[in-house]
Structure 1
Amino acid sequence: MPIQELPRDEDLSLLVDLYELTMLQAYWAEGMHDTATFSLFFRKLPPHRNYMLACGQQHVARLISQLRFGDSQIEALRRLDLFQSAFLDWLADFRFTGTLHALPEGTPVFPHEPLLEVEAPIGEAQFLESLIMNYVHLETVLASKASRIVNAAQGRPVVDFGMRRMHGIDAAVRGVRAYRMAGISATSNVLGASRHDLPARGTMAHSFIQAHDSEDVALQAFAREFPGTALLVDTYDTVDAVKRLIGWLDANPDLHISAIRLDSGDLGELAKTCRHLLDHGGYPEIKITASGGLNEYRIQDLLADDAPIDSFGVGTALGAASDAPCLELAYKLTEYAGEPRLKHSPGKHSLPGRKQVYRESDAEGFYRRDTLTLRDETAPGMPLLQPIIIDGEFQAERMADPDTAREASLDAVARLPEGLHRLDQGAAYRVDISERIHDYRRQAEARLGLPSDG
């Protein structure tokens, strides 16, 4: 049997935890088909984060509308020897029939605010839990990390170099989508660039230099093969390489390079020395790009020290979101059969009901607070959750094209209070919870005989 590394779209109906299918059969067997609302949210921000950038929620909505159980998927479930034949026959006709409200891609989001809400017959809604969480978790974590790095770079381009240390090839491809949303300028990942229409950029590896008997021969050969390229100059002696580069550019006016790349050593001091050499050598147009173990903190420090670096390549810190690689997303039942539902466990409370988030701006257009309400309430500001699936039909016209979504996301981040752009965790953004949500919670607690939190 050939190895299939990436899941095929037709197999996504099996990308679930087993208990979602066993619960689905149990709901089916009991005749429980009333409408349920499930909310996807997180209770607290990861370390060092002042906001998360919601990503993937509209992407997964398109997949949900297309989920099917074909013959091969039904046969895979039959081999588990867990499911009734009549249930599998029912599953063969599965279609998502519900509604899904979601934040627009690239929306800054805060604790307890739904990234999306699913309203559907309870089995359908329950079945989607792990697929939704996987898609939204990965892209939200990566977009949020990318947003921090883009902010630290202060308008200088950032290129994704992270593929080789990412957690799987699926993450490497889907990550490029999240990076584009957050403002990353380009990627070295050719498949990701092709899939998500982000420019592909790269230079060379040290091995290309090492494979030649002379560094100059290697660099000149590459420059002739790829006019306007960026050259890696730190394989042996960075300063000496740049001095020689200026000499052979003078002697070969047909050669043209756009940048040099620094990948090791004291990047700040090397950038200053190389900038001086290039400027005084008559090549002020040649830019300097830096890479090598960079993250947002190192970028911030380099720029604070006035390092003349024009762009950055970021790998592991971006691709693995290494300082905060996970977000404790929760997908919780908040309403069933018209009644409020909640989780009351210590430290893991959930808020009942179908919800809306209103975002209010000040006179200058900066965000000042959010209000979390029940769906049929109103509050100051703009409502953020919008229907992206209605009665099982994906609303393609409601999903912004990638360029528009990127621009909207960058604008939204720029409108956050200034303190939220800091790399350390600052004052929390204000999120108010409406009194009607609290009343609804107390109603649910009373019905279940639970002590009220007030």
Structure 2
Amino acid sequence: MKNLTLLTDLYQLTMMNGYLNEGIQDDIVVFDMFFRRNPSSGGYTIVCGIEQLVDYINGIHFNPEDIKYLRELGLFTPEFLDMLENFEFTGDIYAVEEGTFMFPGEPIIRVKAPLFQAQLIETTLLNIINFQSLIATKASRVCHAAQGDPVLEFGLRRAQGPDAGIYGSRAAIIGGCNGTSNVLAGKMFDVPVAGTHAHSWIQKFDSEYDAFMAYARSYPDKAMLLVDTYDVLSSGLPNAIKVFDEITKQGHKPMGIRIDSGDLAYLSRMSRLMLSQAGYSDISITASNDLDEYRVQELKNMGCDINSWGVGTKLITSSDCPSLGGVYKLCAASDGEKLVPKIKISEDPEKITNPGFKKVVRIFTGEGQAEADLIMLEDEEIDTKKPLTIFHPVYNWKKKTFTNYSVRELLKPLFVGGKCTYKKRRVMEIRDFVKSEMETLGAHYKRISSPETYKVDLSNKLWLLKRQMLHDSKGE
């Protein structure tokens, strides 16, 4: 991974310079990274990009060219630049496991470090986690709409630059896609790659049949033919069937067809009928053409006969929701030997933060279903032998009591005292983890439209602290 140390907003550096001038650069602080809304008005968010965050932290260093550039800006003191030359991250970072589903307001990353260090990493942390989490969540929604059909990510040509194409492919696989057209991503992350041919292949040959036959000669056991260059039902499909007959006689088994335009529901049903009549009832029909979770769900509801999906532009760009909007907020700062809770107050209630050094606990039913999350202060514990009552942090009369339940703390160490504790996992392992985690989330939370809101509550101790700090801020 390339050196991303200067991939930051200028104000991070000017604040750091100011902290040094004020003599508070070594004060210990706690920042939480969280988001305020799920993408696409959905019911959950898949956290992605943790491994790249670890690589970034491990690689932070200011090289001589960086220091020379910053010196030439004329904004920084010599003492500040000297500190940058010797910069080393020595703090603690805790985060949820990559692939965990999370909800608005929950800390998904917690940083406890000297102020000088914690401030520097904000921008890059958000850049990495926001984008990959957005795409992983979009992919998860598309795969949910596909109801178990294979989904292939085809978005590289429409991605917002090479990095978005590469790490968007990674996130899409983690979110549930079965493969990607992105060859570099396939190599970098050891994930399946997929693809056949474009319309230009068909156009280059004298006839559609010649084009199909030429492709089948090169890939007789992977003959997936694009049948909509001219006309699906009167030209593309009849020619594909002729080619399938030829390669079947030679002992090969054709893969299927792809339709990239037109009325996909109607064309897929008619194609299935024609293929079945020709003896190819088990062949795959893949659809593409500006698909997303809404379109896939619509086609499913219309009774399409599609069993594989190629999803590109609207996935890799998350076209209906182009950003996640995760934030990084100070929630505690040292006063001598102890951490003092901090709170951000706003006229917009959504932007009022939860103060203190916190953790997140997930509550599971006796059957292993995720039922609610509880944001707690770090020193709090839950005795699962006793009933647990939680309440809505705003509508306090809404309560729920658990008796037969288990809990799991979600924040795990990535760095402790500056030392990396993270163990890397293959992307396909993370994908499998996402699949198993999503099985614990009820279907009503995974609906594409109008999902039920998952319960995220505050412990009584944290709720009282927040309420007291709000009252104190108003002089009450």
Which range, TM-score by smaller chain? over 0.9
2:78 corresponds to which residue? 85
Q: 2: CA distance between counterparts of 1:153 and 1:47?
A: 17
2:178 alignment counterpart = 185
Do structure 1's residue 194 and structure 2's residue 187 form an aligned pair?
yes
1:251 CA displacement: 4.2
SS in 1 for 2:86: coil
1:387 partner SS: strand
Residue 443 of structure 1, CA deviation: 4.9
Amino acid at match of 1:139: Q
Work out whether residues 58 and 102 of structure 1, in 8 Å CA contact, stay in contact via their aligned partners in 2. Answer: no
Distance in 1 between residues matched to 2:352 and 2:471, nearest whole Å: 15
1:366–1:417 CA contact under 8 A, matched in 2: yes
Report the CA distance shift for 1:310/1:446 in structure 2 as closer, same or farther (over 3 A): closer
Contact 2:191–2:427 (Cα < 8 Å) also in 1: no
Report the counterpart of residue 357 of structure 1 in structure 2.
360
Q: Aligned equivalents of 1:21 and 1:314: distance in 2?
A: 40
CA distance in 2, matches of 1:278, 1:224: 21
Whole-angstrom CA distance in 2 between matches of 1:164 and 1:54: 24
Map 1:110-125 onto structure 2 (within 5 A).
Answer: 110-125=103-118
Kept in 1, the 8 Å contact 2:212–2:243? The answer is no
Aligned to 1:246: 241
Q: Within the alignment, does 1:339 sit opposite 2:340 as a pair? A: yes
Q: How does 1:143-222 map to 2 (within 5 A)?
A: 143-222=136-215
1:161 CA drift (Å): 0.8
| Counterpart for residue 5 of structure 1 | none
Query: Is 1:140 matched up with 2:133?
Result: yes
Contact 1:181–1:402 under 8 Å retained in 2: yes
1:25 aligns with 2:51: no
Contact 1:158 1:314 in 2 (8 A): yes
Shift of 1:242: 1.4
Q: Is the 8 A contact 1:209 1:218 kept in 2?
A: yes
1:446 to partner: Cα distance: 6.1
* Match of residue 388, structure 1, among 408, 411, 414: 414
Paired residues of 1:47 and 1:425 also in contact (CA < 8 A): no
Structure 1 position 438 matched with structure 2 position 463? yes
Name the residue aligned to 2:228. 234
Q: Kindly, what percent of the aligned residue pairs are identical?
A: 38
1:272 aligned to 2:298?
Answer: no
Whole-Å Cα distance in 2 between the matches of residues 421 and 442 of structure 1? 32
Q: One-letter code of the match for 1:339?
A: V
- Which is worse superposed, 245-254 or 433-442? 245-254
- When residues 407 and 256 of structure 1 are mapped into structure 2, their CA distance, relative to the original with a 3 A threshold, is closer
Look up the match of 2:391. Answer: none
Cα displacement (A) at 1:256: 4.7
Q: Give secondary structure in 1 for the equivalent of 2:65.
A: helix
Range 245-254 or range 108-117, more displaced: 245-254
**Equivalent position amino acid for 1:173 in 2:** I
Give 1:303 deviation, angstroms. 2.0
Deviation at 1:186, TM superposition (A): 0.5
Give the residue type in structure 2 aligned to 1:101: Y
Deviation >6 Å, runs of 4+: none
- Cα gap change, 1:349 to 1:229, in 2 (>3 Å): same
How far residue 355 of structure 1 moved from its aligned partner, in angstroms, is: 1.1
1:358-415 per-residue CA deviation (whole Å, 9 max, x = no partner) reads 1111122111111110112123511000111111111133x44433322121111121
1:10-47 CA distances to partner (integer Å, 9 max, x unpaired)? 2x110010000011111112221111000001223344
1:413 aligns with 438
Tell me the distance in 1 between the aligned counterparts of 2:46 and 2:244: 44
Question: Paired residue for 1:378?
Answer: 381
| Larger displacement relative to structure 2 (382-391 or 301-310) | 301-310
Q: CA deviation at 1:419?
A: 0.7
The 3 A distance-change label for structure 1 pair 346 and 46 is farther
Alignment match, 1:281: 278
Query: What is the alpha-carbon distance in structure 1 between the residues aligned to residue 50 and residue 173 of structure 2?
Result: 15
3-state SS, counterpart of residue 255 of structure 2: strand
Deviations along 1:257-298, whole A, 9 cap, x unmatched?
311101111111111111121122122342111101111122
**Partner residue, 2:317:** 320
Alpha-carbon contact 2:42-2:446 (below 8 Å) kept: no
Distance 2:333 2:469 in 1: 11
Name the counterpart of 2:64: 71
Deviation of the 1:314 alpha carbon? 0.4
Q: What is the CA distance between 1:445 and its match in structure 2?
A: 4.4
> Taking structure 2 as the reference length, what is the TM-score of the superposition?
0.89
CA distance change for structure 1 residues 77 and 214 in 2, over 3 Å: closer, same or farther?
A: same
Moved more, 379-388 or 107-116: 379-388
Query: CA 1:43–1:213 in structure 2 vs 1: closer, same or farther (change >3 Å)?
Result: same
Instruction: Give the Cα–Cα distance (whole angstroms) in 2 for the partners of residues 311 and 451 of structure 1.
Output: 61
Which residue number in structure 1 is paired with residue 87 of structure 2?
Answer: 94
Alignment of 1:16 onto 2:8: yes
| Deviation, structure 1 residue 162 | 0.9
Tell me the residue number matched to 1:4.
Answer: none
Change over 3 Å in CA distance of 1:230–1:141 after alignment to 2: same
C-alpha change, 1:251 and 1:60, in structure 2 (3 Å) is closer
| Deviations 1:66-92 (CA, angstroms, capped at 9, x unpaired) | 211111111121121111122111110
Further displaced range: 300-309 or 367-376: 300-309
Question: What is the DSSP-based 3-state SS (H/G/I as helix, E as strand, rest coil) of the residue aligned with 2:5?
Answer: helix
Q: How far apart, CA to CA, are the structure 2 residues paired with 1:369 and 1:58?
A: 27
Q: Is the 8 A contact 1:102 1:386 kept in 2?
A: yes
Q: 1:423 to 1:451 in 2, by over 3 A?
A: farther
After TM superposition, the structure 1 stretch with the greater mean CA deviation from structure 2, 320-329 or 242-251, is 242-251
In structure 2, give the amino acid aligned to 1:239.
Answer: L
TM-score normalised according to structure 1 size: 0.93
CA distance in 2, matches of 1:257, 1:178: 31
- What amino acid is the match of 1:310? N
Unaligned runs of 5+ in 1: 1-7
Aligned position for 1:297: 294
Secondary structure at the residue paired with 2:104?
A: coil
The offset of 1:121, in angstroms, is: 0.3
Distance in 2 of aligned mates of 1:150 and 1:406: 12
Structure-2 change in CA distance of 1:65 and 1:445 (3 Å): farther
In structure 2, relative to structure 1, the CA distance for the partners of 1:445 and 1:269 (3 Å cut) is closer
The answer to whether the Cα contact below 8 Å between 2:225 and 2:240 also exists between their aligned partners in 1 is no
Number of paired residues?
A: 442
3-state SS of paired residue (1:328): coil
Q: Give the superposition deviation at 1:301.
A: 2.1
